Amino acid sequence: MKTSRPFIFLMLFSLLFLPGCWNSRELRDLAIVSGIGIDKVPDSNEYRVSLQIVNPNAVAGSKAGGGGQGMLPSIVYSSVDHTLFSAMRKTSQKVPRRLFYAHSQLFIIGETLAKEGINELFDMYERSHELRLNTSVVISRGIEAEALLNVLPPLQTTSAVAITNGLKVASDTWARSLDKDITDIVKSLSGSGEPIISGVRVVGDPNKGKKRSNLEQTPPLANLEVKGIAIFTDGKLTDWLEGKAARGAVWALNNMKSTIVNMNCDDKKEKISIEVIRSTTKLRTVMRNGKPVFLIQVKEEGNLSEALCPINPDKREVMVKLQKQLADETKKEIELAIKTTQQKKSDVFGFSTEMERTHPKEWKKMKKNWPVIYSQSEVEISVEAYIRRTGLRIKSYLKSGDG
Amino acid sequence: MMFSKNLYRNKKKIHQKTGDESGRGAKLFLSPVLADNLAHIQNELGNSPDIIVKLFEIGTSRTQAGAVYVDGITDKNMVNQYILHSLMLETHAGVSLEQDQNVLAFINANALTLGEVIVLKDWDSVILSVLSGNTVIFFESTEEALSGNTKGGEQRSITESSTEVVIRGPKDGFTESIGTNVSLVRRRIKSSNIRLEPFKIGLVTQTNVAIMYIQGTVEDSLVQEIRIRLQNIRIEALAGSEHLEELIQDQRMTPFPTIMNSERPDTATGYILDGRIAIFVDGTPFCLIAPATFFMYFKSVEDYYQRPEAAVIIQLLRYAALIISLFGPSIYIAAITFHQEMIPTPLLLSLAAQRESVPFPAFLEALMMEFAFEILREAGIRMPRAIGQAVSIVGALVLGQAAVEAGIVSSAMVIVVALTGISSFSTPSYNMALAIRLIRFGMMAAAALLGFYGIAIFSIFLIGHLCGLASLGVPYMSLSPYVPEDQRDTLFGQPLMTNASNPELTANSNRHVTNGEDAPSSSDSPLNHLNGSGSE
For residues A384 and A327, the answer to whether their CB atoms sit within 8 Å is yes
pLDDT of residue A226: 94
Averaged pLDDT for residues B503-528: 48
Cα–Cα dist A161/B302, whole Å: 50
Residue A221 has pLDDT above 60, yes or no: yes
Spatial strand order in the sheet of B63-70: B51-58, B63-70, B135-139, B145-148, B117-120
Using an 8 Å CB-CB cutoff, list residues of chain B that contact chain A. Answer: 336-338, 340-341, 345, 348-358, 361-362, 404-405, 407, 410-411, 445-446, 448-451
B524: confidence class by pLDDT, cuts 50, 70, 90: very low
For the packed helices B411-425 and B308-337, what is the interaxial angle rounded to 10 degrees?
Answer: 150
Q: In B469-536, which residue ranges form alpha helices assigned H by DSSP?
A: 488-491, 511-518, 528-531
pLDDT of residue B9: 42
Q: Would residue B47 be called left, alpha or beta, if left means φ above 0 and alpha means ψ between -120 and 50 degrees?
A: left
Residue B521 has pLDDT above 50, yes or no: no
DSSP for B85-117, please give it: IHHHH---TT----TTS-HHHHIIIII---S-E
pLDDT of residue A179: 94
Nearest neighbour of B352 by CB, restricted to A21, A56, A63:
A56
Q: How far is A67 from chain B (nearest CA, A)?
A: 10
Q: How many CB pairs (< 8 A) connect A and B?
A: 92
Q: In A107-218, which residue ranges form alpha helices assigned H by DSSP?
A: 111-116, 123-127, 145-150, 159-173, 182-190, 206-209
Per-residue pLDDT reduced to its tens digit, B269-309: 999 988 899 999 999 999 999 889 898 898 888 888 888 88
pLDDT of residue B85: 81
The terminus-to-terminus CA distance of chain A in angstroms comes to 104
Would you list the domain boundaries of chain A?
27-241, 243-403
Per-residue pLDDT reduced to its tens digit, B230-273: 999 999 998 888 889 999 998 888 999 999 999 999 999 999 98
Closest-CA residue of B relative to A68 is B353
B526: confidence class by pLDDT, cuts 50, 70, 90: very low
Amino acid letter, residue B305 = Y
Residues of B in contact with A16 (CB under 8 A): 445-446, 449-450
Cα–Cα dist B67/B74, whole Å: 12
Partners of A138 in the β-ladder: A108, A198
B58: confidence class by pLDDT, cuts 50, 70, 90: confident
Closest-CA residue of B relative to A73 is B349
Closest-CA residue of A relative to B343 is A103
For residues B111 and B90, the answer to whether their CB atoms sit within 8 Å is yes
pLDDT of residue B253: 87
Nearest neighbour of B356 by CB, restricted to A19, A23, A56:
A56
Q: Which of A5, A27, A98, A131 to mutate to test the interface with B (most CBs of B within 10 A)?
A: A27
CA distance readout (Å), B412 to A79, B36, B335, B338, B404: 36, 78, 13, 17, 9
Q: Which of A13, A62, A99, A132 to mutate to test the interface with B (most CBs of B within 10 A)?
A: A62
Q: What is the ipTM of this complex?
A: 0.83
Partners of A75 in the β-ladder: A53
B98: confidence class by pLDDT, cuts 50, 70, 90: low
Q: Find, among B489, B103, B527, the residue nearest to B312 by Cα.
A: B489
pLDDT of residue B517: 41
Q: How far is A150 from chain B (nearest CA, A)?
A: 19
A17: confidence class by pLDDT, cuts 50, 70, 90: low
Q: Find, among B122, B144, B86, B135, the residue nearest to B97 by Cα.
A: B86
Cα–Cα dist A51/A149, whole Å: 8
Averaged pLDDT for residues B43-66: 83
pLDDT of residue B133: 87
Per-residue pLDDT reduced to its tens digit, B106-128: 777 777 777 788 888 888 888 88
Q: Find, among B512, B505, B465, the residue nearest to B485 by Cα.
A: B505
Q: What is the mean pLDDT of chain A?
A: 89
Residues of B in contact with A65 (CB under 8 A): 353-354, 356-357, 407
Averaged pLDDT for residues B352-361: 86
B514: confidence class by pLDDT, cuts 50, 70, 90: very low
pLDDT of residue B491: 60
Residues of B in contact with A103 (CB under 8 A): 340-341, 345, 348
Q: How many angstroms from the chain centroid is the CA of residue B534?
A: 30
Q: How far is B439 from chain A (nearest CA, A)?
A: 15
pLDDT of residue A5: 77
Torsion of CA A351, A353, A357, A362, to 10 degrees: 70
Beta strands in A21-179 (DSSP E): 30-40, 47-54, 74-81, 98-100, 106-110, 136-140
> Does B519 or B203 have the greater pLDDT score?
B203
CA distance readout (Å), B395 to A96, B364, B401: 38, 19, 9
3-class DSSP state for residue B485? helix
The terminus-to-terminus CA distance of chain B in angstroms comes to 35
Q: What is the mean pLDDT of chain B?
A: 81
B532: confidence class by pLDDT, cuts 50, 70, 90: very low
Are A65 and B354 in contact (CB < 8 Å)? yes
Are B338 and A62 in contact (CB < 8 Å)? no
Averaged pLDDT for residues A242-246: 93
Residues of B in contact with A157 (CB under 8 A): 349
Per-residue pLDDT reduced to its tens digit, B406-435: 888 888 999 999 999 999 988 888 889 999
Nearest neighbour of A32 by CB, restricted to B349, B405, B451:
B349
Pick the CATH number of A243-403 from 3.40.718.10, 3.40.50.720, 3.90.420.10, 3.30.300.210: 3.30.300.210
Nearest neighbour of B337 by CB, restricted to A24, A59, A157:
A24
Averaged pLDDT for residues B324-343: 93
Q: How far is B446 from chain A (nearest CA, A)?
A: 8
Closest-CA residue of A relative to B364 is A26
Averaged pLDDT for residues A162-176: 94
Enumerate residues 6+ apart whose C-beta is below 8 A from A349.
A193, A249, A252, A253, A283, A294, A338, A341
Residues of A in contact with B350 (CB under 8 A): 56, 60, 62
Using an 8 Å CB-CB cutoff, list residues of chain A that contact chain B. Answer: 16-17, 19, 21, 23-28, 30, 32, 34, 54, 56-57, 59-60, 62-66, 68, 100, 102-103, 105, 130, 157, 161
A106: confidence class by pLDDT, cuts 50, 70, 90: very high
Residue A14 has pLDDT above 50, yes or no: yes
Per-residue pLDDT reduced to its tens digit, A304-342: 999 988 888 888 999 999 999 999 999 999 999 999 999
Are A32 and B356 in contact (CB < 8 Å)? no
For residues B273 and B530, the answer to whether their CB atoms sit within 8 Å is yes
